[in-house]
Chain A
C-alpha cells in the first residue's frame, strides 16, 4: 500500500520568513495530494491540494509543488504569520474518491 513520509517533524521560523515542508510517497498510482492544517484540538482543514497533471499550484501565501518523477511534493508558506502556527499534514490518494494516506505531520511554530 501507499506510504507517505513527511519532514521535518518540527519547524520553527521567525515571522515573515518562509517555511517549507516536504513529503515523499511510494505508490506511483497516487494522483491527488492535499495538505491539511490542524490547530490544537480542532479538525484538519484542507488548505491546498494538487493533482498529478499539475506541477505547481499557488493560493496567496501558500504554494504546493509536485515532482512525479521523484515522487515528492512540498508545501511552501511565504511571509509566515503567528496564525500559521499549527500541525500540517500531507496526504496522498490514488483516485478521486479513495482513502487518504497521511504523513506523520509537521509542527510549525512561527515566532515573533
Chain B
C-alpha cells in the first residue's frame, strides 16, 4: 500500500512566481490536510479537505493561498506571488476519516529566492 505521495520534493521559486504543490493521499483515504513547517519549528495546520470540499481553512492565510481536492487527481496547494516568508516545508497528511490517524507525506520544501 503506497504511502502519501507529494511532489515536487523540492521547489525553488523567485519572488512573485506561483508555487503548486501536489499531494496524493494513501489508497482508501478521502481526507487530506496541509501543514506548514518553518525551520526549527512545529507543524501548523493550514487546510482540511475532502473530495471537492474544503472542510476547514482556518489556518490558511487569507490572501495568495488556495487549496483544492478535485474529484479526480491529487490535492493541490497553490501559492500565488510567493514571498521569502513562504519558504518552508509543506506537508500533507491523509486520513481514512473514521479513526483520526493522519499519515504524512515526505513534504515539499519550498525555497523562495
Contacts and interface: CB of A to CB of B under 8 A. Distances in A.
B33 A99 contact: yes
A44 interface: yes
A61 interface: no
Contact of B45 (A34, A89, A97, A101): A101
Interface of B: 31, 33, 35, 41-45, 48, 56, 58-59, 91, 93, 95, 97-107
26 contacts: A1-B58, A34-B100, A42-B106, A43-B104, A43-B105, A43-B106, A43-B107, A46-B102, A46-B103, A51-B100, A89-B42, A89-B43, A95-B100, A96-B100, A97-B31, A97-B95, A98-B48, A98-B56, A99-B33, A99-B45, A100-B33, A100-B45, A100-B93, A102-B35, A102-B42, A102-B44
Interface of A: 1, 32, 34, 36, 42-46, 49, 51, 89, 93, 95-105
